[in-house]
Amino acid sequence: MAKTLLEIAGLRKTYGTLEVLKGIDCQVHEGEVIAIIGSSGSGKTTLLRCINMLEDFQGGTISLDGEEIGYHVEGPTRRRKSEKDIARQRALTGMAFQQFNLFPHMTAAQNVMLGLVKVKRLPKDEAHAIAVKWLDRVGLGDRAGHYPGQLSGGQQQRVAIARAIAMNPRLMLFDEVTSALDPELVGEVLQVIKGLAADGMTMLLVTHEMRFAFEVASRVIFMNQGVICEDGNPREMFVAPKTERLAEFLKTSSFN
Amino acid sequence: MAPSLFDQLWLARNVILSGLGLTVSISLLAILAGSVLGVFVGLSLTYGNRWLRLVVRVYTDIIRGTPVLVLVLASYYVSSAVGVNLDPFSAGVLALAVFCSSHVGEIVRGGLQAIPKGQTEAAKAIGLTFGQTFAYVLWPQALRQFLPAWVNTAAEMVKASTLLSVIGVAELLLRTQEIISRNFMSLQFYFFAGALYFVVNYGIERFGKYVERKTAVPS
């Protein structure tokens, strides 16, 4: 069995009185590609955002490579780590967003280089070489000097993935990365993700693309109302769901 | 024979030039000081804690709700009443700078808040600290966003500098009035002064457009 990379235990997240995550327990092993599915409001995006501290959480622990993310926990007391510590930890995970969130005032190459130069403190020429290498990998080597406004949605998302992956993260998080794309642009982005999966990158993907989840994921997590409702390999889950909830969800989703 | 306008202009050239020089220095100083202060006002309004935000909000609302003329008079007469003896020039520049800071503060706040939240999140996700996020991601975008409004404010400051004539600062308007009191050519000289103000403000506007073009992001 591969080594455990990410360990989530008793994760709870509330917004005021609304409990969004009600105790998540989950282990992710190196090289796993996990699709997180579930209806909207089930907490899947929030789970992803807690893993790199884009959201604070109120209970439980998340550890990456044995290091607790975001909080020092000693017995009953928990204390948020310093911003500097959290920034360093965030660099260990890469994230791609539904809305791409490229920096519009920087070229594709500058977008990819920013973290390399400012966080990893690489010299500019070295960072540029890495940026070009990854832009090549996502099929955009010839677009390095283009600004986001000059790229299509699919191209922007591929640059955003290159920006995250160039940081050489331990874990990649994909938050509905194809949801904002025109249907004909979805394929090129999924192709890039498939390539990364083949490289052995550990990935968590929140997705509505059931067919893609079925094809690429080594494991599927079905979330419902803030808890993990079902967790298993895609063939079993999609073909013979154990819970009523999942059966219902699959019926209403696009997968058939 | 009635004196010709050109003779009178030539006669008054040094007075007009010194007035124009003073108008330009007042405006420049007020815009510079006001912008520096205004950036701090804007940052406080955007990122300050509750108390700082409240204090700065009260400051900007009071200043923006007060006529500039009242600020100029207050700066001159109140400062001397409380024992700080500011000369008219300093008092006037101070009033204009304070006025400018409240406007620039609002512009900066608006520019920063208009940036989508996803920008900050993407910057965080690659491990940038808040300071780095601000310096490399937020500020460059906000600058482009608020440049036109800032140029507008700068032009407003040039116009507002005329109000310093009431506390005896010999800027272009007061100089013009002096000249008119000697030669009675009010129409011609007011028109001429107006033309000079236009030239200065047109220059500011062209400069703003130039910077805007230079910093525009291709799309």
Burial bucket for residue B37 (CB in 10 Å: 0-12, 13-18, 19+): middle
What pLDDT, on the 0 to 100 scale, is given for residue A135? 97
Chain B interface disruption, residue of A46, A101, A134, A146, most B CBs within 10 A: A101
* Other Cβ atoms within 10 Å of B40 Cβ, number: 15
Closest C-alpha to B151, from B217, B96, B94, B206: B206
B192 backbone dihedrals φ, ψ, rounded to 5°? -65, -45
Identify the H or E element spanning A31: none
Residue B3 vs residue A75, higher pLDDT: A75
Largest CA-CA distance found in chain A, in angstroms, rounded: 55
What pLDDT, on the 0 to 100 scale, is given for residue A167? 96
pLDDT digits (tens, 9 = 90+) for B167-211: 999 999 999 999 999 989 999 999 999 999 999 999 999 999 999
pLDDT digits (tens, 9 = 90+) for A122-141: 999 999 999 999 999 999 99
The answer to whether B126 contacts chain A (CB < 8 Å) is yes
DSSP annotation of B215: H
Q: How high is the mean pLDDT of chain A?
A: 93
pLDDT digits (tens, 9 = 90+) for A38-76: 998 899 999 999 999 999 999 999 999 999 999 998 888
Residues in B touching A118 (Cβ below 8 Å): 128, 132, 136
Lowest mean pLDDT among A52-66, A104-118, A232-246: A232-246
pLDDT at A161 over 90: yes
CB contact under 8 A, A90 and B124: yes
The Cα–Cα gap between A124 and B171 comes to 51
What pLDDT, on the 0 to 100 scale, is given for residue A254? 61
Could you report the predicted ipTM of this complex, rounded to two decimals? 0.93
B21 token code pair: 């020089």
Domain architecture of chain B: domains with CATH? 11-215 (1.10.3720.10)
Distance from CA of B143 to the nearest CA of A (A): 11
What pLDDT, on the 0 to 100 scale, is given for residue A192? 94
What pLDDT, on the 0 to 100 scale, is given for residue B2? 63
Residues in B touching A94 (Cβ below 8 Å): 125-126
CB contact under 8 A, A105 and B217: yes
Distance from CA of B122 to the nearest CA of A (A): 6
What pLDDT, on the 0 to 100 scale, is given for residue B1? 55
The arithmetic mean of pLDDT across residues B52-57, rounded, is 96
User: Hunting for tokens 């609002």 — which residue is that?
Assistant: B106
Residues in B touching A54 (Cβ below 8 Å): 121, 124-125
What is the layout of strands, in order, in the sheet containing A59-64?
A18-29, A4-15, A59-64, A67-68
Do residues A229 and A25 lie in contact, with contact meaning Cβ atoms separated by under 8 Å? no
Sign of the C-alpha dihedral, residues A65, A85, A177, A139?
Answer: negative
What pLDDT, on the 0 to 100 scale, is given for residue A212? 87
CB contact under 8 A, B119 and A103: yes
Q: Which candidate from A90, A103, A105 shows the least CB-CB separation from B127? A: A90
Q: How high is the mean pLDDT of chain B?
A: 94
Q: Which candidate from A54, A101, A115 shows the least CB-CB separation from B128? A: A115
CB contact under 8 A, A119 and B126: yes
CB contact under 8 A, A90 and B219: no
What pLDDT, on the 0 to 100 scale, is given for residue B3? 72
Q: Which candidate from A105, A119, A149 shows the least CB-CB separation from B141? A: A105
pLDDT at B104 over 60: yes
What pLDDT, on the 0 to 100 scale, is given for residue A256? 46
The arithmetic mean of pLDDT across residues A18-42, rounded, is 94
Q: Which residue on chain B is closest to A86 by alpha carbon?
A: B127
The answer to whether B128 contacts chain A (CB < 8 Å) is yes
Alpha helices in B84-185 (DSSP H): 88-113, 117-125, 130-132, 139-160, 172-183
The arithmetic mean of pLDDT across residues B76-96, rounded, is 92
CB contact under 8 A, B129 and A94: no
The Cα–Cα gap between A148 and A99 comes to 12
What pLDDT, on the 0 to 100 scale, is given for residue B81? 87
Residues linked to residue A12 through DSSP beta bridges, in sequence order? A22, A59
Q: Which candidate from B126, B130, B218 shows the least CB-CB separation from A114? A: B126
CB contact under 8 A, B127 and A147: no
CA atoms within 13 A on the CB side of A199: 15
pLDDT at A185 over 60: yes
> What is the Cα Rg of chain B in Å?
21
pLDDT at A1 over 80: no
Interface A-B, measured as beta-carbon pairs within 8 A, has a size of 79
Reduced to 3 states (helix: H, G, I; strand: E, B; else coil), residue A3 is coil
CB contact under 8 A, B127 and A87: yes
pLDDT at B106 over 90: yes
B183 token code pair: 């030669």
The arithmetic mean of pLDDT across residues A147-167, rounded, is 96
Q: Which amino acid is at A94?
A: G
User: Hunting for tokens 């996700």 — which residue is that?
Assistant: B125
Identify the H or E element spanning B79: helix B68-81
What pLDDT, on the 0 to 100 scale, is given for residue A99? 95
pLDDT digits (tens, 9 = 90+) for B108-119: 999 999 999 999
Distance from CA of B117 to the nearest CA of A (A): 9
CB contact under 8 A, B218 and A102: no
Residues in A touching B130 (Cβ below 8 Å): 83
Cα-based distances in Å from A163 to A28, A87, A106, A154, B74: 23, 16, 12, 14, 54
